[in-house]
Amino acid sequence: MEQKRLIVLASASPRRRELLEKIGLKIQVDPSEFPEKTRQYLSPEELVKYNSLGKANFVASRHPDAIIIAADTIGVLNNHLIGKPHNAKEAVIMLHSLSGKTHRVVTALTVIDTGSDNLLTRTVETYVHIKKLTSQEIQNYVQSGEPLDKAGAYAIQGMGALIVEKIRGDYYNVVGLPLNALSDCLKELGINLL
């Protein structure tokens, strides 16, 4: 595929950047300074959609003829949002709450073609089951440092793969960017990745 358009990732996430590069896109990174909302009165789906749209629109104003990609991902356990732990103690608590349970990972993806003002948003949901963990396994994983900047206190693409028993849905959604939905959005805008 020959890339004719500037593609801008409205995120500082190294994982999202790596995923886009992995599928052959040459991108420019322009992190959005959009002030994200936390829960308040919105459902998880409404919340990620609001944040994803806000991030994309914030960056779109700086690129008059480009494809803007933005996303927002959260975890949900029993209708409670799962954020990023602020420290090791919070990571331990979070992993104990997920142990032996299934939670949802919800991502809203927004793609804007600023040349034509076309805007597409998709919401993708993946179910992740964490195996039953011992306290020692949780301590060992937290001591690795990996959980400390990850939503849900695990990275499925890293050592966290050892605690994930099964998933139902898009694996890349759990990493932070649902590539299948992105491919469909880009195709609608006339950009075929295959």
Query: Could you report the per-residue pLDDT of 135-191, keeping only the tens digit for each?
Result: 999 999 999 999 998 889 999 999 999 999 999 999 999 998 999 999 999 999 988
Q: Which of 124, 159, 149 is nearest to 12 (CA)?
A: 149
Query: Could you report the per-residue pLDDT of 94-113, keeping only the tens digit for each?
Result: 999 999 999 999 999 999 99
Identify the domain containing residue 101 by its residue range: 6-188
Is 1 a residue whose pLDDT tops 60? no
Clarify whether 72 is annotated catalytic: yes
| Average pLDDT rounded to a whole number, residues 7-24 | 93
Q: Could you say which of 72, 113, 149, 170 is catalytic?
A: 72
Specify if 169 maps to a domain: yes
Cα-atom radius of gyration of the chain, to the nearest Å? 17
Whole-model pTM?
A: 0.91
CATH number of the domain that residue 107 is part of = 3.90.950.10
Query: Could you report the per-residue pLDDT of 17-47, keeping only the tens digit for each?
Result: 999 999 999 999 999 999 887 766 789 999 9
Specify if 127 maps to a domain: yes
How many domains does the chain divide into?
1
Using CA atoms, how far residue 189 sits from 3, 112, 167, 184, 193, in Å, is 13, 9, 30, 9, 11
Q: Which of 170, 168, 173 is nearest to 152 (CA)?
A: 173
Specify if 129 maps to a domain: yes
Specify if 194 maps to a domain: no
Question: What is the distance between the alpha carbons of residues 73 and 75, in angstroms, rounded to a whole number?
Answer: 7
Specify if 193 maps to a domain: no
Specify if 1 maps to a domain: no
Query: Could you report the per-residue pLDDT of 73-95, keeping only the tens digit for each?
Result: 999 999 888 988 999 999 999 99
